[in-house]
Amino acid sequence: LPVVAIIGRPNVGKSAIVNRLAKVQEAIVYDQPGVTRDRTYKPAFWSDRDFMIVDTGGLVFDDETEFLPLIREQAMMALSEACAAIFVVDGQEGLTEADRVLSDWLHRQHVPVVLAVNKCESLTQGYSQVSEFYELGWDTHAVSGIHGNGLAEALDDVLSHFPEKDEEVEEEEIRVAIIGRPNVGKSSLLNAIAGENRSIVSPISGTTRDAIDLKVERNGIKYRLVDTAGIRKKKYVQYGPEFFGINRAFKAIDRADVVLLVIDAVEGVTDQDQKLAGRILEEGRACIVVMNKWDAIEEKDTYTMLEHMKQVKARLHFTEWADVVFTSAVSGQRVEKIFDMIAPAAEQHRRRVSTSVINEILEDAVSWHTPPTMKGGKQGRIYYGTQVSSRPPSIALFVNSPDRFGDTYRRYIERKIRESLGFQGTPIRIFWRGKK
């Protein structure tokens, strides 16, 4: 959903405005304990659009309270995910120096801003109160959070900055890339998926030249198989097996939400397969490992799949979160099962987790295993963490010394987060941030 940030000094009446827009009075996401003024999300709607309001708490730049840097950090994060901001000022108090400072800061944030001059209860009074704020250089509206005057116009203005609704609908389709070395069975797999007398398949041209995408549907979910032309083209034949259009594969990974990494089960995981998996991880795409040609493995018993699974997990340990499926593109065995894995992986890939949940996990993680000691014997400290983006889920951890936390502790935190939250099928990103 689109996010709208509410920004303003304390006591300008932000909460009165928020409460008018919100569907429910309780915030659905709380920030961590310890920070008194929180960033809270509330679902809201206006005309035909649903969105989230994020309230950043009172912003001031000219006092030296202990929490100030954190609040500013919170506001920055709120703005980074917002498609528009409502900047609230107090029309009865008039333009203050603190408003000017805040306004200058907002002008540097690259987010469309609508200025709401609050506490303008009467229209005539409103006009005289509003004019002095024009110098701040925003689209300006006289509003009353208490009575609701002027909010409609202000919101129409805010909505004009939302992404087109169609784009959101388009987002619902899951983009899938089929990737792998030559002859692992990509074309065969594609044919098995898109073959005749299957459900809806329609070719559409992709964004890159001569990339043909295929749309397929399973259980009411729409999938777009990207760059299927690249799969069918047997370009590498004339260059020998070393050349397999790796750039093309990389481009397809780039366009996908979920990548099917197809591997020849008879040959097992090769160096090149590892390289492709590495790229998928780097690009932060969800992934499913498809061990194809399973039918060609002879004399299977009950342990065969387990043995192969072990080898895959060992050779692809850096993408151990990826599901593995053993298929036969020629017989169709388990090909449809791939779709049962794609949809949840895509869901995990775009998942958002509340700050309170993340901080509960962090608290637990830290109590089992304290952060490394910093230079000079100072104890490493995690203040709090918050998810800053999705696709893939990315979590910033605010710490006292970001350079010194290192990879071992990062892996530990990732493990703890996965133990609680799963994130099966998708990479997650965790990075250290300074408190500033």
Nearer to ligand GDP, 142 or 260 (CB): 260
Quick one: which of 169, 161, 67 has its CA closest to 114?
A: 161
Binding track, positions 309-328, relative to ligand GDP; x by CB under 6 A? -------------------x
User: Annotated binding residue at 287?
Assistant: no
Q: CB under 6 A: which stretch of 39-47, 176-184, 381-389, 409-417 binds ligand GDP? A: 176-184
Judged by CB under 6 A, does residue 255 bind ligand GDP? Answer: no
Asked whether the beta carbons of 230 and 248 are under 8 A apart, the reply is yes
Nearer to ligand GDP, 119 or 186 (CB): 186
Q: In the complex, what is the shortest distance from the CB of residue 332 to ligand GDP, in angstroms, rounded to a whole number?
A: 9
Q: CB under 6 A: which stretch of 54-62, 90-98, 178-186, 421-429 binds ligand GDP? A: 178-186
Q: Among 149, 292, 348, 355, indicate the residue that binds ligand GDP (CB under 6 A).
A: 292
Judged by CB under 6 A, does residue 187 bind ligand GDP? Answer: yes
Burial of 8 (0-12, 13-18, 19+ CB in 10 A): buried
User: Annotated binding residue at 105?
Assistant: no
Q: CB under 6 A: which stretch of 102-110, 165-173, 289-297, 376-384 binds ligand GDP? A: 289-297
Instruction: Kindly state the tokens that stand for 174.
Output: 């899951």
Judged by CB under 6 A, does residue 231 bind ligand GDP? Answer: yes
Q: In the complex, what is the shortest distance from the CB of residue 241 to ligand GDP, in angstroms, rounded to a whole number?
A: 10
Q: For the chain, how long is the longest CA-to-CA vector?
A: 88
Q: Among 2, 126, 150, 180, indicate the residue that binds ligand GDP (CB under 6 A).
A: 180
Residues 360-379 binding ligand GDP (CB under 6 A) are none
Nearer to ligand GDP, 37 or 186 (CB): 186
Q: In the complex, what is the shortest distance from the CB of residue 306 to ligand GDP, in angstroms, rounded to a whole number?
A: 20
User: Annotated binding residue at 13?
Assistant: yes
Q: CB under 6 A: which stretch of 122-130, 290-298, 308-316, 318-326 binds ligand GDP? A: 290-298
Nearer to ligand GDP, 217 or 295 (CB): 295
According to the 3-state scheme, what is the secondary structure of the chain?
Answer: CCEEEEEECCCCCHHHHHHHHECCCCCCECCCCCCCCCCEEEEEEECCEEEEEEECCCCCCCCCCCCHHHHHHHHHHHHHHCCEEEEEEECCCCCCHHHHHHHHHHHCCCCCEEEEEECCCCHHHHHHHHHCCHHHCCEEEECCCCCCCCHHHHHHHHHCCCCCHHHHHHHCCEEEEEEECCCCCHHHHHHHHHCCCCCCEEEEECCCCCCEEEEEEECCEEEEEECHHHHHCCHHHHCCCCCCCHHHHHHHHHHCCEEEEEEECCCCCCHHHHHHHHHHHHCCCEEEEEEECHHHCCCCCCCHHHHHHHHHHHHCHHHCCCEEEECCCCCCCCCCHHHHHHHHHHHHHCCCCCHHHHHHHHHHHHHHCCCCECHHHCECCEEEEEEEECCCCEEEEEECCHHHCHHHHHHHHHHHHHHHHCCCCCCCEEEEEECC
Judged by CB under 6 A, does residue 228 bind ligand GDP? Answer: no
Judged by CB under 6 A, does residue 177 bind ligand GDP? Answer: no
Quick one: which of 280, 235, 233 has its CA closest to 261?
A: 280
Nearer to ligand GDP, 18 or 263 (CB): 263
Total residues interacting with ligand GDP, rule: CB under 6 A? 16
Judged by CB under 6 A, does residue 305 bind ligand GDP? Answer: no
Q: Among 76, 330, 343, 357, indicate the residue that binds ligand GDP (CB under 6 A).
A: 330
Q: In the complex, what is the shortest distance from the CB of residue 264 to ligand GDP, in angstroms, rounded to a whole number?
A: 8
User: Annotated binding residue at 247?
Assistant: no
Annotated binding site for GTP: 8-15, 55-59, 118-121, 180-187, 227-231, 292-295
Query: Binding site membership: which residues?
Result: 8-15, 55-59, 118-121, 180-187, 227-231, 292-295
Residues that bind ligand GDP (CB under 6 A): 180, 182-188, 231, 292-293, 295-296, 328-330
